[in-house]
Amino acid sequence: MHMLRLRLLVDYRTEPIVEKRFRILAHISNQLRKHVKKQLSRLEKDKVYQELKKEYGRLKKLDPDNHEEVATDLSRVSGLMDETINELGLTKSGLEKYASVMQRRYKKNISSHQVQAEVAHILKGLEKVLYGDGKDIHYKKERDFTTIPGKSCSNGVILHFDQDDEKHEVNCYITWNGIAIPVRYDLSKADLPGGRNYVNESLSSGKICYCEIKRIWFRSGYKYYVDIYMKGEAPKKVEPGKSVMGIDEGTSTVAAVSGDAVFLEELAPQCVDYNKEITKLQRQIDVSTRKTNPDKFNEDGTCRKRSGWKEKHWTFSKNCLRKKAKLRELYRRKSAYAKCRHENLLNRMIQSASSFVNEPMEFSALAKRSKKTERQDKLSEVKKKDGSVKLVRKYKRKKRFGKSVNDRSPALFQTRLKQKCVQYGLAYMETDKWKYRASQYDHDLDAYIKVELSRRFKTVAGQVVQRDLYSAFLQSCMGTPEKPDREKCLQLFGQFVRMQAELIMKMKASGQSRPACFGF
């Protein structure tokens, strides 16, 4: 399944109706969340259910595979817990039945399938609370509702194509509960191999499953789109290569090596410029907010905690609201820029390879702060109020790669690579990061040698190689998921050194500044 997004030509008559329907969906969704929170509270107070939960946890610690009695008891306790959950209506059918009562009141604006699709979103969060590590169901602000979901192509948002014989054109529009909105699309753009059009190929190749309404914030306000979900894979924009490509991805950079190409690039390099603009705007908004709300802050500048509606009500100037709108748009542009850069780089990589070998990374773990509280080895001088100097060992910073992961979106790059491999029918393989150890392996000595992270270049077989590129080269020479193929490394190493030298020379000649982790 793939998705095609087209712009809706919403005018001054239909825009208030669409906005009203987003407000209705937000109201129904939050009322449903309120009901779920109430039922979860009743479940927490149910002593029988809590005892069953403790019993289930105790049985789960045992090995049910080797004990038939444990497996039987586990099934019995699980069944009793499910009965209690069903009685409270915390199931798909129960929540849909509860939501249908509210939907009937707004049936002229929201269809039953659209409400059922919203129920499915809430049900995912409920399952995390009941069976996973979720803590609670949370309400959503109206502005956070950016999609009116769909479920069927015959209910809710329906896409139509009408042939205009006089103008020799095809008119595309959607109908949605009594309103019709034109759809803008361009069939003249040749953005596929052979001069074909992507939109035309996508619409003609797959059967439409359902449509959703999407709103995206711009500085001038919302713009509306229709997301068309179709069966089958998306049209192929590039022709895949024929070699094997190894990838070494970091939190902010990616290195890739194949038989005829090498890549060493920074992920979303211009995100730093966006961060500067965002920081500047945030500072201006903070100054404006403090001027218009002086009673909300203490003398030391901290925010005053108060209860009551009047104390919680904040006043913002028109200029401040405009800056907030601009800030919101900057975040959107930054996100769209990172996605666009990832797609562009992946398309260039696919043109050079038919198989990809990657080392899996858990970027969410790298984004978290360190749990250990440690002091530095060196002594630092600290000046006291009386002018005396004291030598202390300062605490080590607990921050790791959270900001870099947030800016560069390396996990998105990894996810999109897997999706594109499925789309193009390419092979995607992963190595064992604990046993493969591409950053330590030396194929010439056939040994693992630990190198300091600060050393970005090292010598292998008498040749100086860049650390990340060499790791990617070893990934491309995978023998098994646990070790590279040494014979393949010896055979292809000379070609890799030549391609690496050409790439580094080209990058230096460009005159652009590079990250320090590249080493040049």
Find tokens 């009386």 and name the residue.
386
**Rounded CA separation 6/10 (Å):** 12
Tokens of 174: 């959607």
Q: What angle do CA 129, 131, 135 make, to 5 degrees?
A: 25
Tens place of pLDDT per residue across the chain (520 aa): 888 899 999 999 999 999 999 999 999 999 999 999 999 999 999 899 899 888 888 888 877 666 777 788 888 888 898 999 999 999 999 999 999 999 999 999 999 999 999 999 999 999 999 988 888 999 999 999 999 999 888 888 998 887 665 655 668 889 999 999 999 887 778 888 888 888 888 888 778 899 999 999 998 889 999 999 998 888 888 889 889 999 988 888 999 999 888 999 999 899 999 999 999 999 999 999 999 988 888 888 888 877 565 667 889 999 999 999 999 999 999 999 999 999 999 999 999 999 999 988 887 777 787 788 888 888 888 888 888 888 888 888 877 778 888 888 899 999 999 999 998 889 999 998 888 888 888 888 888 888 888 888 888 888 888 888 989 999 998 888 888 888 888 888 889 989 989 988 888 888 788 877 777 7
Task: Yes or no: say if 271 and 279 are a contact pair by the CB < 8 Å rule.
Answer: no
Comparing CA positions, the residue from 462, 485, 407 lying closest to residue 246 is 485
Residue with tokens 């000379």: 494
User: What's the CA gap between 448 and 439, in Å, rounded?
Assistant: 9
Which value, to the nearest 10 degrees, does the dihedral of the CA atoms of residues 430, 436, 439, 445 take?
Answer: -140
**Identity at 217, one-letter amino acid code:** W
Would you state the structure tokens that stand for residue 471, as one six-digit string? 């790791």
Q: In this structure, are residues 175 and 158 in contact, taking their beta carbons and an 8 Å threshold?
A: yes
- Torsion region of 189: left, alpha or beta (phi above 0 gives left; psi -120 to 50 gives alpha): beta
Separation between Cα atoms, residue 57 and residue 412, nearest integer Å: 35
Cβ neighbours around 471 below 10 Å, total: 24
Give Cα separations from 460 to 444, 457, 489 (angstroms).
Answer: 7, 10, 11
CA dihedral 159, 164, 167, 170 (to 10 degrees): 30
Handedness of CA 313, 314, 315, 318 (dihedral sign): negative
Structure tokens at 132: 């996973």
pTM of the model: 0.84
Q: Where are the domains of the chain?
A: 2-12+152-230, 24-141, 244-271+335-518
Q: Quick one: three-class SS letters along 252-297?
A: CEEEEECCCCEEEEECCCCHHHHHHHHHHHHHHHHHHHHHHCHHHE
Largest pairwise CA distance in the chain:
91
- The strand pair at 457-460 and 463-466 is best described as antiparallel
Q: What is the DSSP letter of 155?
A: B
Classify 464 as helix, strand or coil.
strand
Residue 202 and residue 191: Cα distance in Å, rounded?
12
